[in-house]
Structure 1
């Protein structure tokens, strides 16, 4: 844990050093020094940025929650049952490659420009990756693995707890980790439409007001939000997938 924290601090220090060098070399208002940005962040976070961060985090959490609640059991069902896989795989393969951002105008027309359309976008980005990753993880389990439990008359819950859950969890976490980066990027884009709160709204508003210090402060917070989510996934993986670290 200490080693990981040290590497993050070291990487941040290198990035801030490079940022400072670019700021000094260009000497333009559009690239302020990181010290000025951090000072601005300290001044406005509690009064302004905290609210926008809360809204963005809430949208990500809601989209992720629904994607996991629907995608994970559906992936288990498709991976464990061949009939279900043959029935639903064509729909998943047809819908998954569609760029979700292209559907945003449709969602806004149907659900408005409020919270539903934004959460739905995040949900769609994550859910298909979860379904495919979990299904593939379950399908890769050798059939011989089930024989001891089935011969002992194990219940479906016992099979899930002892076989399906540990086999699918690593790929499930990886799928969420990969989808999270795209979800944050799309969230920034969706928050520029019809939003009064959210980091995307805050950053674009600061840009239009030519307030580059606040704009960069919002970008730093958005990056830290992504880092926090990735770190949380790493902690969950280390906690529930301990066999991978042996």
Structure 2
């Protein structure tokens, strides 16, 4: 059954990619301009430059996303649990979250660059800020939605918070937590592209913009394809984690 489901998902991804390539091909033929090259030319160029050029930029982008995501989960999930389970924690922390969450994170980039420099740290912090608030709010709301009666059997057995966390809070909050990460990931990739155009010579954002400035449209489109594949892989990994960790939802 799992193999059949996996095969169905891969087939859906393949058909989606074929549809986009056909659409791209039609658009390139209709416009007939260098700004929209034919897909086959881009793929040939991608194969020729990937190992020697694009791969290192893709690895830098993946590292920044992974580091920002890890720190966001490490800080955001415990805070969400505290705010969702303990009313006093939510009372004092919720105003801080509500005041800082709506701020456009990209507007903080100049401040981050002044405080953390233009290197890796400012980019990782930017990814962290994009993801952490969505994690906090999603986990808190998921825990608050748990009926209070669910805890009574554990209370009567003398369960401690650690046991309640493992048996009730974690399973109940996991689906919304994964959804929050999935939603935030798309924004994180988009903002990462922008941040990688400043103070670095590595990353998919730098590669794509550098190719654009050199009027090398084949390299530019090759970078866009790789960035799209990075997003596809990340979303695929999140879906696999959700399918395994939240099997009880099916």
User: Do both share a fold (TM > 0.5)?
Assistant: yes
- For the aligned pair, the TM-score class normalised by the smaller chain equals over 0.9
Per-residue CA deviation, residues 151-178 of structure 1 (Å, 9 max, x unaligned), is: 1111222111110000000000000000
Could you say which residue in structure 1 is the equivalent of 2:3? none
Could you say which residue in structure 1 is the equivalent of 2:18? 13
1:59 shift after superposition:
0.1
- 2:38 and 2:7 map into 1 onto residues whose CA distance is 29
Could you say which residue in structure 1 is the equivalent of 2:248? 243
- 1:199 and 1:46 map into 2 onto residues whose CA distance is 14
Could you say which residue in structure 2 is the equivalent of 1:163? 168
TM-score by length of 2: 0.97
- 1:125 and 1:51 map into 2 onto residues whose CA distance is 24
Whether 2:135 is the aligned partner of 1:130: answer yes
Whether 2:55 is the aligned partner of 1:55: answer no
Question: Which of residues 178, 191, 195 is equivalent to 1:190?
Answer: 195
Question: Which of residues 79, 86, 90 is equivalent to 2:91?
Answer: 86
Whether 2:238 is the aligned partner of 1:233: answer yes
Could you say which residue in structure 2 is the equivalent of 1:73? 78
- 1:11 and 1:107 map into 2 onto residues whose CA distance is 38
- 2:249 and 2:208 map into 1 onto residues whose CA distance is 39
Could you say which residue in structure 2 is the equivalent of 1:202? 207
- 1:14 and 1:170 map into 2 onto residues whose CA distance is 30
Per-residue CA deviation, residues 31-54 of structure 1 (Å, 9 max, x unaligned), is: 001111011000000000000000
| Number of residue pairs aligned between Structure 1 and Structure 2 | 245
Q: Which runs of 5+ in 2 are unaligned?
A: 1-5
- 1:45 and 1:154 map into 2 onto residues whose CA distance is 54
Question: Which of residues 104, 113, 121 is equivalent to 1:116?
Answer: 121
Query: Which segment is superposed worse, 155-164 or 134-143?
Result: 155-164
Could you say which residue in structure 2 is the equivalent of 1:215? 220
SS of the equivalent of 2:131 reads helix
1:243 shift after superposition:
1.4
What root-mean-square deviation, in Å, do the aligned CA atoms of Structure 1 and Structure 2 show? 0.5
SS of the equivalent of 2:199 reads coil
- 1:158 and 1:33 map into 2 onto residues whose CA distance is 58
TM-score by length of 1: 0.99
